[in-house]
Structure 1
Amino acid sequence: MSVSEKTIELGVFIPVGNGGWIPSVNSPDIRSTYGYNREVTLLAEELGLDFALSMAKWRGYGGSTRHWDFTLESMTTMAGLAEATSRIGIWATVHTMVFHPAVVAKMSATLDQISGGRFGLNLVAGSNPYDQGQMGLWRDLSHDGRYALAREWITVARRLWTEERVDHSGDFFTLTDCVSNPKPVKPPQVICAGTSDTGFRFTIANCDGCFISGNNPQSLVRTGLRAKQIAAELGRTTKTYGLFTVVPGETDEAARARVDHFNAGVDVEALRRQAGEYATDVRENTMRRRMAQRAERPTAVGDGAVVGSPESIARQLAGLVKDADLDGVTVIVPDFVDDLRTVGERVAPLLAGHGVRTNAAGAAAGVGGPA
């Protein structure tokens, strides 16, 4: 491989919430059924993608689209998909305020068996006060406090994956002679989406990868490079996985027309309700600011989307992967069958021409992927 080439993982953020990630009356009719997500994940495996990730969401935002009013639970969904698949990584999302680490430790060991070592875990330290508050599970902690809880959470889980008996008395959890068997043969890969310096320091010290996004390409690049800079300061390494909304078309003009069509039907009420709920979290500035900016100029497809023909998308993604020094790309698409097939069969092979290699490109070519 030449120095200008980079091999990355390619995954899909499957649509366990109705409507997917495009809150518009003009978006494809995506229903949050297990059957549809099974179809998407099997397609992703066929295309050679490396992982499928599902979000955890407990309450939607209403509006004309009833955005995310119907969602599958992440851990149980991924258990089913682990059984349905044979190669692709299966990553679930857990809120550290919702599940006790001992419960997830045993669930993860079970999923390790079902998946044959393909299970991964995405930790969320905060989120929406309404989402978890409706169940009485929200903890009004400071930003640092949320990561202190997450740090204790993952410490307990990792001990239960490796130690026969665990005694723990901390600020958030207490375990007395806690036993959790069987142990996972392969403890799950753990990622986290915190993008503050505090979040990055937690993730780099306690997890395997940083899940990053941005309001626009420039902010995503800055965020990706900041993660690698903090890792270097800590004397560690970390993987970074960029999240991208990808809107393909036969031509750049056709793709842009799709975006315009989605934006013309944007569900303003759902976006404003989302922003309003996050605005109640007075201790979390970053997410509140991001949601408020989106509500001020509501669009169904944000400025950070990668839009165009397969060649244009490949060129844009390759540039962002290299500029942000990413180790993986996670895609969201409007239609998780036709558009995902475009990503796997047409975009991935073109990425190789821009110096970015994926297993999906190898699958499209009928070979085993990058060496």
Structure 2
Amino acid sequence: MSDREHRRQLSLNAFIYPAGHHEAAWRHPASAAERIYDASYYQEIARTAEAATLDAVFFADGPALQGDVAHNAVGRLEPITLLTAIAAATERIGLIATASTTYYEPYNLARLFGSLDHISGGRAGWNIVTTGNDAAAANFGLDAHPPHAERYARAREFVDAVIALWDSWEDDAVVLDREAGIYADASKIHEIGHAGEYVRVRGPFNQPRPPQGHPVLVQAGASNDGRAFAGRYAEAIFTAHQRLADAQAFYADIKARAASFGRRPEDVKILPGISPFIAGTETAARALEREFNELTVPAYGLLQLERITGASLNHLDLDAPVPPALFAGAGDVTDNGRSRLQVVAGIVERERPTVRGLLHRLAGARGHRVFAGTPEQVADTIEEWFRSNAADGFNVMPPYYPGGLTIFAEAVVPILRDRGLFRTEYTGHTLRDHFGLPRPTGRITASAVSA
């Protein structure tokens, strides 16, 4: 194998948001908002991503109607079900869905992702969230959303239980001896007996160990609790950064936390979001971004900003500077549970935008990095962050679907390939193969149970 083939390679996911990541995408004629409840629409998008040999498609989700549905297409299909349909229409692309440890139970979630991994031949990934939306509580008969620290305490128990369920069948438990009449060796299928403060699961699981051992574990929290959780469990981390230096600091911190848990830092992929407006010239790309921003509805943007700040903003003059006091409680970037608030506070401090200007800054990707430029310029910024230990790859967040992904796949990916940064073909079949992650060894064996 050549030196070029041995080089560290980018990981690239297509983060699928129904009409696109810009909040006004649904209004733009380049989007396909009328198709966002059509499974074939997502199958087509996934095939575009697969043709470009991207690592995975990824769906965010939450167990409540989030956002202002009067002014944006914020409803969505349940992602694990949708990914099963995508699995049937694709062969190699990874399939990552978000699911909450606060509003699922370990056994049914383990079954959903275990089944997706079996159905897809080892392409599943679970984006682990604790849910930050207070409105979800009422949908599950709760009077209030659990506090931040309690959600993470439950999440740790929850993930331990799910992994134990996946491991409750040893890899060689299925014998399939037709002559002897033995389907499985029952001595290699184990109860897990998980009994914690928040989660109790007896087991065993009711399906064999998933093809990948367990689906790839993904996480997106950037608070102290989120970082500690990521260092212990996450194999890929989705994050939001505006500046290279901030991304480098986050990258170093997570790699160090992983090492402190006895893990190899290279087995944790750091993947910031990037939302690129791409055109033949930088002027044309910036004009395209302005075109989308002019379609925004201020009432929608203000509601999104209120959710981030926790303050009412309807009294603000859209064309006056953002009041600095609005972000006085953001806290230090390394010591606060409200990481997205800190990202927005940083934009306000550096750029001193008007309220309308801030709404436009956030309209593109909710605090993720928006970049307008030529295919070469997009490739340049991806390469800079990759080579500067700010990222192992990116969650690509097209401002509009399906065309925003198509132009990235057809114009940017070939440049990254020419620079030796990205694969020209898949070399494996599982999501772990694409990310370069090892298949985990089962933790539960007969000897471990007896001990």
Give the gaps of 5 or more residues in structure 2: 169-189, 312-328, 330-335, 349-353, 428-433, 437-451
Q: Deviations over 1:107-160 (max 9, x none)?
A: 122112210011111111232112454444586444332221111111000010
1:184-333, aligned counterparts within 5 Å?
184-186=210-212, 187-236=214-263, 237=265, 238-279=268-309, 284-290=337-343, 296=355, 297-299=358-360, 300-301=363-364, 304-333=369-398
SS in structure 2 opposite 1:117? coil
Name stretches of at least 5 consecutive residues in structure 1 with no aligned partner.
363-368
What letter corresponds to residue 85 of structure 2 in structure 1?
G
* Alpha-carbon distance, 1:357 to partner: 2.4
After TM superposition, give the deviation of residue 336 of structure 1 in Å.
2.7
Asked whether the equivalents of residues 321 and 327 of structure 1 are also in contact (C-alpha less than 8 Å), the reply is yes
The code of the aligned residue for 2:379 comes to A
Is the contact between residue 345 and residue 360 of structure 1 (CA under 8 Å) also seen in structure 2? no
Matching residue of 1:71:
76
1 CA distance for matches of 2:278 and 2:426? 17
Letter in 1 for 2:254: A
What secondary structure sits across from 2:209 in the alignment? coil
Partners of 1:243 and 1:138 lie apart in 2 by 34
SS in 2 for 1:190: strand
CA drift at 1:175:
2.1
Amino acid at match of 1:270: Y
**Residues 191, 143 of structure 1: CA spacing in aligned structure 2 closer, same or farther, 3 A cutoff?**
same
1:152 and 2:157 are equivalent in the alignment? yes
CA displacement at 1:91 relative to structure 2: 0.9
- Compute the displacement of 1:79 (Å): 1.2
Find out whether 1:348 has 2:409 as its counterpart: no
| Aligned partners of 1:97 and 1:138 also within 8 Å | no
CA distance in 1 between partners of 2:141 and 2:343 (Å): 25
- Work out whether residues 120 and 189 of structure 1, in 8 Å CA contact, stay in contact via their aligned partners in 2: yes
* Among 130, 134, 148, the residue aligned to 1:143: 148
Once the two structures are TM-superposed, the CA of residue 347 in structure 1 deviates from its matched residue by 0.8
Question: In angstroms, what is the RMSD of aligned CA positions?
Answer: 3.1
Residue 337 of structure 1: how far off its partner (Å): 3.0
Moved more, 242-251 or 303-312: 303-312
Whole-angstrom distance in 2 between the partners of 1:291 and 1:50: 29
Work out whether residues 64 and 269 of structure 1, in 8 Å CA contact, stay in contact via their aligned partners in 2.
Answer: no
Contact 1:210 1:227 (8 Å CA) reproduced: no
Supply the AA of the counterpart residue of 2:276.
Answer: V
Q: 1:139 to 1:89 in 2, by over 3 A?
A: farther
- Larger CA deviation: 186-195 vs 219-228: 219-228
Separation (CA, whole Å) in 1 of partners of 2:194 and 2:144? 20
Q: Which is further off, 216-225 or 310-319? A: 216-225
Matches within 5 A, 1:69-218: 70-136=75-141, 140-163=145-168, 164-186=190-212, 187-218=214-245
Does the residue aligned with 1:29 lie in a helix, a strand or coil? coil
Contact 1:278-1:287 at 8 Å conserved across structures: yes
Indicate the SS of the match to 1:305. Answer: strand
- Could you tell me which residue of structure 1 aligns to residue 14 of structure 2? 12
Aligned pair count reads: 361
Q: Which structure is larger by alpha-carbon Rg, 1 or 2?
A: 2
User: Is the contact between residue 212 and residue 241 of structure 1 (CA under 8 Å) also seen in structure 2?
Assistant: yes
SS of 1:172's partner is coil
Q: Structure 1 325/95 Cα, relative in aligned 2: closer, same or farther at 3 Å?
A: same
Q: Which moved more, 1:268-277 or 1:289-298?
A: 289-298
Instruction: State TM-score, norm by structure 2.
Output: 0.72
2: CA distance between counterparts of 1:52 and 1:356? 19
1:55 touches 1:92 (CA, 8 Å); kept in 2?
A: yes
Determine the C-alpha separation between the residues in 1 that align with 2:278 and 2:240: 19
